[in-house]
Amino acid sequence: MPLASEKFRLIPEKTSLFLLVLKTNGKVLYYNNAFECFLSNIELSEESNIKNWIVDEDKSILQDVIQNLKLNKASQTVILRLWVSNGVLNYIKFDFSLAEGLIQATGMDITEESKEQQALCSLSKLTNTGAWFYDVEKKQLYWSTKCFTIHETTSDENITLERAFKFFKEDRRSTIKQHFDELLKLQQEYEYVEKIHTDKGNEKSIRVIAKPVVQNNKVVYVNGAIADVTEQQNYLEQLKKSEETKHLALKGIRSGLFDHNVSDSKIRYSNSFKKMLGLSLKHDYVTEDSFLERIHPDDLEEAIVRHHQNLQKDDKHYYNYYRIKHHNGEYRHYDVYGYKKLDASNNVTRIVGNLIDVQDKKEREQLITEQSGWLRAMINHGFDYAILLDTKGKILMADKNTVEIIKKDFNINPLVAPTLFIDVMPVNFKVPFAHEFNEALKGNVTKKQIERIADDGQMQWLQVSYAPICDQKKVVRSVLITFQNITDLKIAEYKIKEAHFKEQELSNLKSNLLSVFSHEIRTPLNGIITISKLLLDEHSMEERDKLVDYLDESKDRLLETLNNLSNYSEIETIQSTLKLEPTDINFEVESCFRNLKHQAQSKRLSYELHLSNTTPIAIIDKEVLSTALHNIIHNAIKYTEKGTIDIEVIDIAKKDLVHINIKDTGIGIDKKNLKKIFDPFVQESVGLSRKYEGTGIGLSLAKRFIEVLKGTITVKSHINKGTNFQIVIPKHL
């Protein structure tokens, strides 16, 4: 310190300013008493450097100052923060100058002022507040930096009152100007919140405060502040909105807020609810009793029971439901939700909650119950099987029968466990199902018949219908599949077809029968008539004899046809009037053989008979057998021009049968005609494809007669080699 005193001629000690002499590297050569006091107990030493006391952040400022001084710059004024052992951060305003290679520093402690300023800065920052004032005399407006920041405009602009007003919304400007005019005239301070558009185009809400300074009863000066309250304002608006939402929501659900004071039996309701019920708005509350009157009498008893249960249970929640009478006399369903408030001894003192109108829900529920009832009825009684599927093919509902089948076959109850129909349907049903189901999803109704083997092994026909079930918007929500057992119907249909076919057959038969008989009669008749005409003019005896022979032959043929015809028409009668008696077949065959012998002999045929060695006796009708035999032997002779007719009787005693074989060496019958010879009338049809080749009706009659005797007749034949008829007669019918 003495060193420094010598070097500096005038360093006043009695000042509150700090005086220091430093080397250009910051080493402290001298400081005055004031600074010594400031440093308190720190001793100056060789090592003392001002940098040791400056906070790190500000060290570079000092460095810059020294650099500038070295470059012959004038004195430099800066504020540096110093940290010394008293534990306080000090703001020192230094004035540095360079003289003779040493730095002179004059410092002033401005800690208190700085702190205030800092606090104001922080406050301004925190509250987004800017200050302004208006000089009425000069008509000049001044804005703090923060004002510019809030308006998001450049701070070097000269702000005017006009310009400031332009930030406000156009429709509000005149009002705001009016406020300002009134302030000047009436010396009224004001405060308002308005919206501005910043230079960056943002919308902000600002709070403006203005206060006049009056001198000689005249406003000379206006002090003011603005604050950015956008967030606050937004929050308020949201709050308002959500409040509105709540109101709307409450209105929407036709609900009533209530506050039930259990101790004094008074219930308070929201006004809207009171209006709805037609309660007086004059009174703040209704009594429990008058409220109970509004509950539907059918619901009252149970509602009270539930109310008391609610009061007693431990749970805080309250739940009840009943119908309430409205001002128009209509009852509507309400659900009541609330919270219970308990006192110290756990008694319920208040219930606060909400009454919610669930009338629509109840109505829908009832409709759904009704509809599902109808559907169930339809399913259980209208069809044999019925299944309701959702659009994914899951079974929603099924009739009892179907459920039983699925339970039995798959051990699943489709009404309990979610089940896809495709997983539980008969295998042969899967392919048509996919197609029909898709059609139904498109909204089309389809019907299909399927066949299946039922459990009893019988064929079953089902009519399957797929009906889409749509909602009000015509969107398919589910598909109803119904199965109707139409087996009886199908069988009836087949029977009708069969009957129709038989009728047709019968009609064909009748027409063929007529055609054959007509032909068989007209052929000999033609002979008879022609011969008769010839006889009239024939004088040669020889020729006449010939003609008479022809006439005889034609007559025989005509008679035979007529006999056959009558036999044919009498088959039914014969069957019921059979004269059954033990008959020697040998004897009957021999009789027939003899009756036709002359015919065979006239054609010079070898005509042979081989009877059985035994005496085969069968219980038959003689007439019937002999007619059949006659026709077959007659036929054999007719179609054989040369060779042998061989007739044989064989007793098959073991089987109680008799065989009669008639063999000829005639023209034979080709295969396609073999069937026809017994059934000349059952031709394909009368018409174009008909073949006009007759066999007569003798064989067919023979067959029918043998059948009357429970026998059979079979034929084997080779064209041009001969035919072999075999008759088998059972000895006992």
Site residues for another protein per CB under 8 A: 511, 514-515, 518-531, 533-534, 537, 547, 550, 553-554, 639, 667-670, 673, 677, 687, 691-695, 719
Two structure tokens written together for 641: 């021009």
Please report the DSSP string for 25-57 in residue order: TSBEEEE-HHHHHHHTTPPP-TT-BGGGTB-HH
- Least distance from C-beta 378 to another protein, angstroms? 57
Asked if residues 199 and 234 have their Cβ atoms less than 8 Å apart, the reply is no
Return the sign of the alpha-carbon dihedral for residues 255, 256, 261, 266: negative
Residue 701 to residue 567: CA distance in whole angstroms:
8
**Residue number, 572 or 693, with CB nearest to another protein:** 693
- Least distance from C-beta 563 to another protein, angstroms? 18
Asked if residues 317 and 286 have their Cβ atoms less than 8 Å apart, the reply is no
> To which H or E segment does residue 452 belong?
strand 446-453
**Residue number, 401 or 511, with CB nearest to another protein:** 511
**Residue number, 427 or 688, with CB nearest to another protein:** 688
**Residue number, 496 or 719, with CB nearest to another protein:** 719
**Residue number, 490 or 555, with CB nearest to another protein:** 555
Residue 388 to residue 421: CA distance in whole angstroms:
9
> To which H or E segment does residue 3 belong?
helix 2-7
Residue 384 to residue 399: CA distance in whole angstroms:
8
- Least distance from C-beta 507 to another protein, angstroms? 14
**Residue number, 402 or 717, with CB nearest to another protein:** 717
Output Rg (C-alpha) for the chain, integer angstroms.
66
Q: Which residues pair with 81 in a beta bridge?
A: 91
- Least distance from C-beta 531 to another protein, angstroms? 5
Residue 563 to residue 524: CA distance in whole angstroms:
14
- Least distance from C-beta 509 to another protein, angstroms? 14
Asked if residues 39 and 50 have their Cβ atoms less than 8 Å apart, the reply is no
- Least distance from C-beta 386 to another protein, angstroms? 56
Give the Cβ contact number of residue 510 at 10 Å: 11
- Least distance from C-beta 517 to another protein, angstroms? 10
- Least distance from C-beta 437 to another protein, angstroms? 56
Which among 578, 462, 565 is positioned nearest to 522, based on CA atoms?
A: 565
Q: In 313-445, which ranges are continuous DSSP H helix?
A: 359-377, 400-410, 430-441
Residue 706 to residue 724: CA distance in whole angstroms:
16
**Residue number, 64 or 670, with CB nearest to another protein:** 670
- Least distance from C-beta 456 to another protein, angstroms? 51
Instruction: Tell me the residue type at 212.
Output: P
**Residue number, 513 or 729, with CB nearest to another protein:** 513
- Least distance from C-beta 627 to another protein, angstroms? 21
**Residue number, 465 or 515, with CB nearest to another protein:** 515
Which among 327, 123, 131, 109 is positioned nearest to 222, based on CA atoms?
A: 131
> To which H or E segment does residue 687 belong?
none
Is 436 in a helix, a strand, or coil? helix
**Residue number, 442 or 539, with CB nearest to another protein:** 539
**Residue number, 554 or 612, with CB nearest to another protein:** 554
- The C-alpha torsion from 143 through 145 and 149 to 154, rounded to 10°, is 80
Is 331 in a helix, a strand, or coil? strand
Distance between the two ends of the chain, CA-based, in angstroms? 168
Place of tokens 């005055």: 32
- Least distance from C-beta 692 to another protein, angstroms? 4
Residue 571 to residue 578: CA distance in whole angstroms:
10
- Least distance from C-beta 707 to another protein, angstroms? 22
Q: What does the buried/exposed string (b/e) look like for 406-436 if buried means 16 or more CB atoms within 10 Å of the residue's CB?
A: beeeeebebeeeebebeebbeeebeeebeeb
**Residue number, 453 or 529, with CB nearest to another protein:** 529
- Least distance from C-beta 434 to another protein, angstroms? 55
**Residue number, 329 or 687, with CB nearest to another protein:** 687
